[in-house]
Structure 1
Amino acid sequence: MSKFIASFWSMSIILLVFVILTLEELVDGRTILSAANKAIIKTIKVDEDEIIDCYDIYRQPSLNHPLLYNLTMQMRPSMNPKNVKLDNFGTLQLTQTWHKYGTCPQGTVPIRRNIKHYNSTLSRKHRRPKFSHSETPNTLQPNDVIEAHEYAVIRVHGNFLGGQAKINLWNPVVEAPIEISVSQIWVLAGDSDDFNSIEDGWEVCEPRYGDYQTRFFILWTTDNYKNSCTNLECEGFVHTSSDIALGCKFSEVSTFKGNQKDATFRIYKDPSSGNWWVELQGIPVGYYPSSLFTQLSKTTTKIEFGGEIYNDRSKGRHTIAQMGSGHFPSEGGLGISSYFHHVQVIDGNNEAKDPEDIEPYVSNPSCYNLKIDKKKYKWLWFFLWRSGL
């Protein structure tokens, strides 16, 4: 009997050591041996609330979408738009904080692991109303608010292959847990239940991430937001970059009357493959295959640039949810108000150009606003907005 007990305890100790080593492999960046995680080549622990898994690019979860079973993966856009405006206005020394803790090998893609529990249905529900500002009736007055979503944007109508903007990075305050603040680009086509959208920018969204940090995000819908998908919450987006992770924090944001940080965001339809590429700081992050869409399988009908918040109206009042820097254009420009710089659309000839016949739209000017400063910034589009009470 004593030999049996000794053998039992020996096996228990061996099993315990194996479990501990396996758990360590999940956070130390070593190769994971578990058969259930063969697609994960490496794991990087950022902090107690964030882990990055480096997936084999050919075994990433998004490829489980039924329309992508026989996908021939495109690694980079076949060509770049002509006449794109680029400069060093604003600097972003380190794109995302997880880079400090490790890198994903070539041939893998970084995917943020969801550690904190969150209600993704709730966050999507409040991410966009059924009828977004893109579908606003002509009779809507400027001070009217649709389902507590508020906007300060410009619209450009036409058939385009995409758009880009250098967007100022801030960390706006939102009051209630389900509130959001967003600065982004919208690429749009269709109407009613066949409304398609691809969106790209930064957001503060506690329900999704479990904190109030400024994070890179993308979103798409093909049915007017009845079903929308942010980042990699569902299959569809084909991730190709080993350097940029969706839903991860920016390493630096702007400070009031201090250093300004920005990043160039681009949504671009490859004229050859038809895929909709998302780029950050000139890095192709990945793409939405054209086959996912109904209307955007062709071209856009409208592109929008600007900010959005979701105001929870807790306690029956407008909350302090900020947009951009939280300061009006009338208070000052660079270092005070938030900006969009080098705003361009990409036409059917694959040429980037300044937008024409723009249509500003501000849903609630007493709280949020924008202005276009052509003279001071040499005809480079400059957008500023703020939140107020």
Structure 2
Amino acid sequence: MSKFINSASRQFILAIFVYIVLTPALVDGRRISNGVNKSIIKTIKVDNDEIIDCYDIFKQPSLDHPSLRNHTIQLRPSVYPKNTKLDNPGTLQLTQTWHKYGTCPHGTIPIRRNVRKHYDSTLFRKQRRPKPFHNKKPNTLQSNEDSEIHEWATIKMHGSFIGAQAKINLWNPMVESSSEMSVSQIWVRAGPYNELNTIEAGWTVDPFYFNDSQTRFFIMWTGDGYKHGCVNLLCPGFVQTSSDIGLGCNFTEMSTFNGDQKDATFSIHKDQNSGNWWVQLQGISLGYYPSSIFNRLSKTADGVDFGGEITNARSNGIHTTTQMGSGHYPSEGGLGISSYFSHVQVITENNEVIDNPENVQLYISNPYCYDLKVDEKRTNGYSFYYGGSGYNDKCQQ
């Protein structure tokens, strides 16, 4: 009898051990094994149930991408664009809420645990389609899946580029529905829409992804016209190197109407030695997208865009009241009223920065809903004001 009990106990203990070792856990929106959990060096609990995991930089989940299995991490850019103005990065004192609760050690990167537990490419396509890169009429930019429409107030440039940079004014626009978003960002892109490659960086209010209405730093990419790809670190691809800034984490300072203005410098540029596309915020190199995950952007971009974007779900049968930028139009006033991009720069394939780009095209879906006006004075380099309130007497559809 005692032998039977001992044998049963051993089997029970073995079963528990196997369960603990092999049972997957949810981290950052994906099911991963406890073997990957060992990559987490430190965990920081933030308010509102937000959690930051400090991952060993050499064991970060992004390295799971098929083309990165034997990837050697580049810890910092080897080449910077000529004449890039990093000495005046913006008025923002760069802090994120989680900084109050701890820091990630050197050699680790902060990853915000995703609140959306079942992220997949279907959700990515739902929220991120189509982009303003082709000559479609604004009222045709609609998904067959639902009535959600994307609208923009942007500037566009065509050519051969390896980067783009601008200061973007930070606001906290109202978003009407949990299925909508408001974005201000830079697009670096290449290829026709069906196989479009794009890297994007900026700030967003996006309840769909983040379950709140805070203004958050984000990046995203696609290599096939938004069929696949992802926001931040929700899928492999972006190799992060900075321990200071968390992707998807909120900014703690915002601009105020007719008050203090807060802006930050966002930058995307290609390291000509490694081919990696680096993302910078306030002059801090956060990490990069390896050129190997792209086909078109493995060389150069054929266009860059700057400006605002919203999604319009028409949830009440009329145009959304979701705001773009500050929620105020350029016609209402400039600094302190309307949102702005300033010191807009593009980087040519010769690695030179163009401060005052020419041949700029304006792309505005409907100026009654959201508008854009270039600042002809150019006292802050190439600059423009943009934004709007959405639904009004002239913006109803």
Asked if TM exceeds 0.5, the reply is yes
Q: Which amino acid in structure 1 is aligned with residue 113 of structure 2?
A: R
Deviation at 1:98, TM superposition (A): 1.1
Q: Which amino acid in structure 2 is aligned with residue 238 of structure 1?
A: V
TM-score normalised by L of structure 2? 0.85
Contact 1:152-1:370 at 8 Å conserved across structures: yes
Residues 199/82 of structure 1: CA separation in 2 closer, same or farther (3 Å cut): same
Structure-1 residue corresponding to 2:358: 356
Taking the aligned partners of 1:109 and 1:94, their CA distance within structure 2 comes to 17
Q: Deviations over 1:37-69 (max 9, x none)?
A: 210111111113211000000000011111001
Q: Deviations over 1:80-130 (max 9, x none)?
A: 11112346585212331111111111100000012454655564233322x
| Partner SS state of residue 133, structure 1 | coil
TM-score normalised by L of structure 1? 0.87
Deviation at 1:364, TM superposition (A): 1.1
Structure-2 residue corresponding to 1:136: 135
Taking the aligned partners of 1:174 and 1:115, their CA distance within structure 2 comes to 19
Structure-2 residue corresponding to 1:47: 47
Structure-2 residue corresponding to 1:382: 384
Contact 2:121-2:229 at 8 Å conserved across structures: no
Residues 126/358 of structure 1: CA separation in 2 closer, same or farther (3 Å cut): same
Taking the aligned partners of 1:343 and 1:378, their CA distance within structure 2 comes to 9
Taking the aligned partners of 1:166 and 1:87, their CA distance within structure 2 comes to 13
Q: Which amino acid in structure 2 is aligned with residue 356 of structure 1?
A: E
Taking the aligned partners of 1:144 and 1:257, their CA distance within structure 2 comes to 36
Contact 2:370-2:386 at 8 Å conserved across structures: no
Taking the aligned partners of 1:122 and 1:372, their CA distance within structure 2 comes to 37
Q: Which runs of 5+ in 2 are unaligned?
A: 1-26, 28-33, 144-148, 392-397
Taking the aligned partners of 2:59 and 2:89, their CA distance within structure 1 comes to 38
| Partner SS state of residue 265, structure 2 | strand
Quick check: 344-353 or 83-92, which moved more?
A: 83-92
Taking the aligned partners of 1:247 and 1:121, their CA distance within structure 2 comes to 18
Residues 239/316 of structure 1: CA separation in 2 closer, same or farther (3 Å cut): same
Taking the aligned partners of 1:68 and 1:284, their CA distance within structure 2 comes to 20
Residues 73/36 of structure 1: CA separation in 2 closer, same or farther (3 Å cut): closer
Taking the aligned partners of 1:225 and 1:385, their CA distance within structure 2 comes to 25
Taking the aligned partners of 2:118 and 2:215, their CA distance within structure 1 comes to 17
Taking the aligned partners of 1:122 and 1:253, their CA distance within structure 2 comes to 32
Aligned pairs for 1:265-280 (under 5 A) are 265-280=266-281
Residues 63/170 of structure 1: CA separation in 2 closer, same or farther (3 Å cut): same
Taking the aligned partners of 1:385 and 1:144, their CA distance within structure 2 comes to 21
Structure-2 residue corresponding to 1:334: 335
Taking the aligned partners of 1:385 and 1:377, their CA distance within structure 2 comes to 20
| Partner SS state of residue 244, structure 1 | coil
Structure-1 residue corresponding to 2:200: 199
Deviation at 1:386, TM superposition (A): 1.7
Taking the aligned partners of 2:378 and 2:192, their CA distance within structure 1 comes to 37
**Are 2:214 and 1:213 aligned?**
yes
Cα RMSD (Å) of the superposition? 2.3
**Are 2:230 and 1:229 aligned?**
yes
Contact 1:123-1:208 at 8 Å conserved across structures: no
Structure-2 residue corresponding to 1:30: none
Q: Percent identity?
A: 61
Taking the aligned partners of 1:36 and 1:278, their CA distance within structure 2 comes to 26
Q: Deviations over 1:175-205 (max 9, x none)?
A: 1110000000000100042211111111111
Q: Which amino acid in structure 2 is aligned with residue 67 of structure 1?
A: S
Structure-1 residue corresponding to 2:375: 373
Number of matched residues?
357
| Partner SS state of residue 154, structure 1 | strand
Contact 1:84-1:352 at 8 Å conserved across structures: yes
Q: Which runs of 5+ in 1 are unaligned?
A: 1-25, 27-33
Taking the aligned partners of 2:276 and 2:228, their CA distance within structure 1 comes to 21
Taking the aligned partners of 2:287 and 2:80, their CA distance within structure 1 comes to 14
Taking the aligned partners of 1:112 and 1:166, their CA distance within structure 2 comes to 25
**Are 2:91 and 1:72 aligned?**
no
Taking the aligned partners of 1:252 and 1:342, their CA distance within structure 2 comes to 20
